[in-house]
Chains A and B, each alone.
Chain A
Amino acid sequence: MSDGRTLERLQKLSHLQDIELMIREAEDTKTKQREEEMGFTLQGLEKLRAAREKWRNQVDPKDLRVFDRIAKRHPRAIVPVEDRICLGCYMALPTSINPATADPDRLMTCENCGRILFWLE
């Protein structure tokens, strides 16, 4: 799973999720107000939304379908793994899931919560 192509696919999806989160926070009245009180400007929301659409076109359509399907259930569709724990549901991953032997054409997902795993070795 840890070949360069897989890394690139995970990077693209992760960046898409980072943008989604940034948009959600900028749309959240409380967060927006707090940031503005600190002296920051958040006037480029439309620009950021446009960047999200542009970025979505950069993602492999198959990966995007998987991402969108999971994102309907979990706002964070892609999550990191630490010490073989999925940081989406905090369940231990079975030993059968291994980035070194995983099919490079398929995104690794958590068997428990279904989220995409950002996991490289």
Chain B
Amino acid sequence: MAEPSRILNYVDERFFVRDLRAKSKDGVLKELAEYLSQDKDVRDATLVLEMLRKRESLGSTAIGSGVAIPHGRTLAIASIKVLFARHQKGIDFESPDGAPVHLFFAIVAPPQDRNNEYLPLLGTIAELVKEKKVRGMLMKAATFADLRQILEGWGDE
């Protein structure tokens, strides 16, 4: 697995969302797109949302154990961004195990990323959240500093 600390190159404090308010799957996608649109590299929040919706129609991005990784490429973004968000109550995200989703990592990338980082990054995150201990820590993370600590510390164990 690539170093989880690499994820920190793509996430910042604005992309740490402690409590999502949405009450549905589509509501979560809307909220994620809204948070992402705070970045100057996001040219169009509407396009980000539509891309995320279409990706879900291809198959749910929930991977079980309360985790979903909505992702995709869109012209609306200039560089790769990763957003972490949590939903305390949990949302039905059509997960393969039927469990509600609490933890979200949204990854959006431009159509062509020069260093071909998108898929390896997606793989790193998918691998990371398979660890029960990590999921537990992510559920408790109260600040961006906590998230940073989790991502920096995990690869060293």
Tell me the complex Cα distance, A26–B82, Å.
21
Closest to B60 in A: A41
Q: How far is the CA of A116 from the CA of B43 in the complex (A)?
A: 16
Q: Are A118 and B75 in contact (CB-based, < 8 A)? A: yes
Q: Which residue of A lies closest to B63 (CB)?
A: A39
Which of A17, A40, A48 neighbours the largest number of chain B CB atoms within 10 Å of its CB? A40
Q: Is the CB of B126 within 8 A of A14?
A: no
Please state if B75 and A44 are interface contacts (CB–CB under 8 Å).
no
Interface size class of B (residues with CB under 8 A): 20 to 34
Task: State the CA gap A43–B94 with chains docked (Å).
Answer: 13
Whether B122 lies near A38 (C-beta < 8 A) is yes
Cβ-defined contact, A48 with B122, below 8 A: no
B75 lies within 8 A of A18 (CB): yes
User: Which A residues touch B76, using CB under 8 A?
Assistant: 14, 18
Closest A residue to B119 using CB positions: A34
B113-129 CB mask vs A (1 if < 8 Å, else 0) is 00000010011001100
Interface membership of B44, Cβ < 8 A: yes
A100 within 8 A of B: no
A-B CB contacts (within 8 Å), total count = 82
Among listed B18-26, B47-55, B83-91, B142-150, interface-contacting one? B47-55
| B50: A residues at CB distance < 8 A | 15, 18
Taking a contact as CB atoms under 8 Å apart, the answer to whether A82 and B58 are in contact is: no
Q: Mark A15-28, 1 if CB is under 8 A from B, else 0.
A: 10111011001100
Contacts known (A31-B119, A38-B122, A38-B126); A44 close to B43, Cβ less than 8 A: no
Q: Is the CB of A51 within 8 A of B123?
A: no
B112 to A, closest residue via Cβ: A76
Residues in B neighbouring A26, C-beta threshold 8 A: 58
- Secondary structure type dominating chain A contacts: helix
Q: Are B126 and A39 in contact (CB under 8 A)?
A: yes
CB-CB nearest in chain A for B48: A18
Closest B residue to A15 by CB, please name it.
B50
In the complex, residue of chain B having the shortest beta-carbon distance to the beta carbon of A25: B73
Compute how far the CA of A35 lies from the CA of B121 in the bound complex, rounded to whole angstroms: 12
> Most chain-A CB neighbours within 10 Å: which of B58, B78, B126?
B58
Extra A-B contacts (15), CB below 8 Å, given A47-B57, A48-B57: A14-B75, A14-B76, A15-B51, A18-B74, A18-B76, A21-B111, A22-B58, A22-B73, A31-B119, A38-B63, A39-B126, A40-B61, A41-B60, A43-B58, A76-B75
Q: Interface of A with B (CB < 8 Å)?
A: 11, 14-15, 17-19, 21-22, 25-26, 31, 34-35, 38-45, 47-48, 51, 76, 78-80, 82, 118, 120
